[in-house]
Amino acid sequence: MRKKLEGLGKLAVHANHLAAWAMKPLAVAALLAGLALPLSARAEPPTAKCDTPVDLLRLTHPLSRVSQKLAAQEPILIVAIGSSSTAGAGASSPATSYPNRLAAELKTLLPDQSITVLNRGVNGEEVPDMLKRFDSAVVATKPDLVLWQLGTNSVIRDHMFSDRDTAMRDGIKKIRATGADVVLIDPQFAPKVVVKPQAEHMVELIATTAKLEDVDLFRRFDVMKRWSVVDHLPFEAFVSPDGLHMNDWGYACMAKGLGIAIAEAAQRPVLSATAHSHLVP
């Protein structure tokens, strides 16, 4: 009899528990839904939004050589030369370097055009090192557009250019001799760069050189600075753990912005000519 009463008591306790859960159907549903999801899907951090304003991306000059190739529907060859942030340091794989991501972006923006992007980045190089291989890495490829990323290693090593330094201009002249369009890319906005007092001066020097030489400049430093200052992204959202190189998200967002800038600048003369033709009786 005693054992029977104890059994009935346990059944009553279980019944009370079941009744309590029956009064909370939402809690049960939420628990079951959570168990049904794989672990990786339960706690994914929100993805940062890449929405850099067009006015910050826009290139000053139209890309005339690329524009001609677009109009003639001829293949376009882009050479990306630079140091480690062109080579892809900080990326999880070669496919996520900025040149490879740029090729994918341009395929989306200009789907009917054959566009090849060659990665000619070499870790650790400064401008004099790049100039030594310009003939083989750039000129020999017969490019239509050259993206020249420079300045970062000189800043972090305290090897600053003087205002009279002709190295950048020599490189620009060598590219122009091929007939290719030129876009300079300035240093990245990253902890190991911005801590250097010369960083802002390097950014200004590259901008001044681009203006004097009438070539385009992709303002990577200002684009990344906006991610930090305006979008309030922490450095770890777009910079790799080494505090210097960009990570996959950073390279992807840079490539997206650069792709938009190139496509717009390349189509600008075509659009202008089309608009003008409609005005002519």
- Whose CA is closest to 251, among 86, 57, 52? 86
Do 182 and 150 contact (CB within 8 A), yes or no?
A: no
For 180-195, give one letter per residue: b (16+ CB within 10 A) or e. bbbbbbbbbbbebbbe
Q: Give the pair of three-digit tokens for residue 62.
A: 């139209």
Supply the pLDDT for residue 160.
79
| Strand runs labelled E in 29-86 | 76-82
Written as six digits, the tokens of 203 are 């950014």
For 257, residues 6+ apart whose C-beta sits below 8 A from its C-beta are 50, 52, 56, 57, 218, 223
Residue 108: predicted pLDDT: 97
31's tokens: 């628990």
Q: What is the pLDDT of residue 162?
A: 67
Amino acid at site 13? V
CATH of 54-275, one of 3.40.50.1110, 3.65.10.10, 3.30.300.30, 3.40.50.2300: 3.40.50.1110
Cβ atoms 265, 61 nearer than 8 A: yes
- Tokens 């753990």 found at: 241
Tens-digit pLDDT string for the chain (281 aa): 444 444 444 444 444 444 443 444 433 333 333 333 443 333 334 567 899 999 999 999 999 999 999 999 999 999 999 999 999 999 999 999 999 999 999 999 999 999 999 999 999 999 999 999 999 999 999 999 999 999 999 999 999 776 667 899 999 999 999 999 999 999 999 999 999 999 999 999 999 999 999 999 999 999 999 999 999 999 999 999 999 999 999 999 999 999 999 999 999 854 444 443 333 33
**CA end-to-end span of the chain, whole Å?**
110
- Map out the domains of the chain as residue ranges: 2-42, 54-275
Tell me what pLDDT residue 260 has: 97
Look at residue 165 in the predicted model and tell me its pLDDT. 72
